[in-house]
Each structure stands twice: as structure tokens, then as C-alpha cells.
Amino acid sequence: MDTDTLVLASDSSRGPTWVPEEQYRRLPWDCEGDFIQCIAGLLEGERLNRTTIINSLILQYNYQSYLEIGLGSGCNYQDVRCDDKTGVDPTPPPRHAMTGSIHATTSDEFFAVNERCFDIVFIDGLHHADQVYRDIENSLLWLSEGGIIVCHDMMPVTELQQRVPRETKAWTGDCWRALVRARGNREIEVCVVDTDWGCGLIKPAEQPVFQPKEELAFENFQRCKHAWLNVISVAEFKIRYLLSQN
């Protein structure tokens, strides 16, 4: 078969599969159409960011419920394709612009009264390591079986960019410390996709805990980040998370 004419498609019973382009163009599925476009786009080199990562995971794993901690302007939240969405932010965008359930409160206050699980959680609230660590712990408590946590801003480029309190416009905070710490205390599978300031992925898994030998200082982070965070490329993300059936 001529592989140039193959595109990646999917339906809910078979999962991802390669099909001839001509057949793909004639596919009658409606609801799967988005997924086909999305995956085909990714393979054609469409740039991945936090939103496309979240949407491709929702489609691939058929996630039904989404929680976003930290809404900002709401641009990511509004573009996430999931019917059951919940957003948490002490200062959320105007209600009329947002669908789903919006909680004008901090993530700690939200989790203190929360009574439900979520299939996918996006952590992007206060970018201080101790807060991000609590957000990870609470999200793991309320994660559905088979669910996943996505954490933004895991890969600062300069020391200044990750300094707390904030000193720069483009600021990641020291979220990376929370992810390294979580790996040391929990049986979780962790990686960081090297795009959009680092998108961390966390799944409960029987994994040995990871304790770095070096102090969690930024100069060590620059040297050790690949080992500490298990950094993967966009291509690896596609292969591991979008092409496998796990």
C-alpha cells in the first residue's frame, strides 16, 4: 500500500486506525469527524498547545467531564470540547461568556466542598509550587478511574521566569517543583510534553516513586529537567497517547 495516501482515523469501536485517504474523505461519521480532523491535523504537523492536547485526550479516551483550575480570560476553557465542564477561579471571566459550572473561588475552597470526580483536570491556577502540589493531590483524589491530569507551565526557560513572587510578564512560576515533588510521594506516571511552556501529564500508575538526588534549585533543573520531569517531544506524545489503545 502507498503510505502517502493513508490518514489516521478512528471510530469508537476500533480506536485509531490508518485508512486510505479516499475512504477517509467518504466517511459518514459525524461525531467522529472532529476526531479524524484533529488527529489528521496533528499528524500533518499542526502545532500542539495545551488546548489541542486536552481536546485530543478527551476525544481519544472518550472523557466526559472536565475541570479547569484557573481560567484566565477563559480562552482555553471555551475551546475545550466537552459537554460537562467545570471551571474554578477566584476572579472568573464574565459568566455569559462561559458554559458549564463556574465557581468563583480558589481551588482549595472548591476541593473542600467538592463531591464529584472528573475524567480530565487541567491545573493552571496559582503558579506557586505549594499550591500546584495541593492542586495535584486534590485532583488525584477526585480523578475518575482511567482519568488524566494536565498541568501547564512546567518548563520555564529562565530563572527569572519561574521566580516567586512574580517578576516577569511571561511567568511560569515554579510549578515544576510541584511535579517533581509529586513524583517523590506518589505512584504516578508523569511526563511533560515539550510545547506551550511545558504541559505535564499525570496518571495514577504502579510506578516506583522518584527522588532526585540534587536540590530542587533552578540551576539543577536546567541540567536535570529531562530526568526530573520525563520530558517528551510532541511526536512522542502523539505516539504514546494518541496512537496507543491504553
Ligand X SMILES: C[S@@+](CC[C@H](N)C(=O)[O-])C[C@H]1O[C@@H](n2cnc3c(N)ncnc32)[C@H](O)[C@@H]1O
Binding residues for ligand X, rule: CB under 6 A, are 50, 68-72, 75-76, 88-91, 106-107, 124-126, 131
Q: Minimum Å distance from CB 135 to ligand X?
A: 8
Report the Cα 242 to chain-centroid distance in Å: 13
What is the rounded CA–CA span in Å between residue 218 and residue 215? Answer: 9
Please, what is the minimum distance in Å from the beta carbon of residue 200 to ligand X?
14
CB of 152 to ligand X, least distance (A): 6
Do the Cβ atoms of 38 and 7 come closer than 8 Å? no
Tell me whether residue 38 is exposed, middle or buried, using C-beta atoms within 10 angstroms of its C-beta: 0 to 12, 13 to 18, 19 or more. buried
What is the closest distance, in whole angstroms, from the C-beta atom of residue 233 to ligand X in the complex? 21
Closest CA to 231 of 186, 197, 200: 200
Nearer to ligand X, 112 or 235 (CB): 112
State the minimum distance, in angstroms, from the CB of residue 188 to ligand X.
Answer: 21
Grouping H, G, I as helix, E, B as strand and the rest as coil, residue 92 is coil
Choose between 36 and 126: whose C-beta lies nearer to ligand X: 126
Nearer to ligand X, 89 or 194 (CB): 89
Residue 41 or 90: the one with the smaller Cβ distance to ligand X is: 90
Distance CA 104, CA 90 (A): 5
Q: Dmax of the chain from CA atoms?
A: 57
Residue closer to ligand X by CB (options 36, 132) is 132
- Nearest approach, Cβ of residue 224 and ligand X (Å): 25
Rounded Cα gap, residues 77 and 68, in angstroms: 7
Q: Which three cell numbers stand for residue 160?
A: 527569572
Beta-bridge partner residues of 201: 150, 191
**Is 75 or 227 the residue whose CB approaches ligand X more closely?**
75
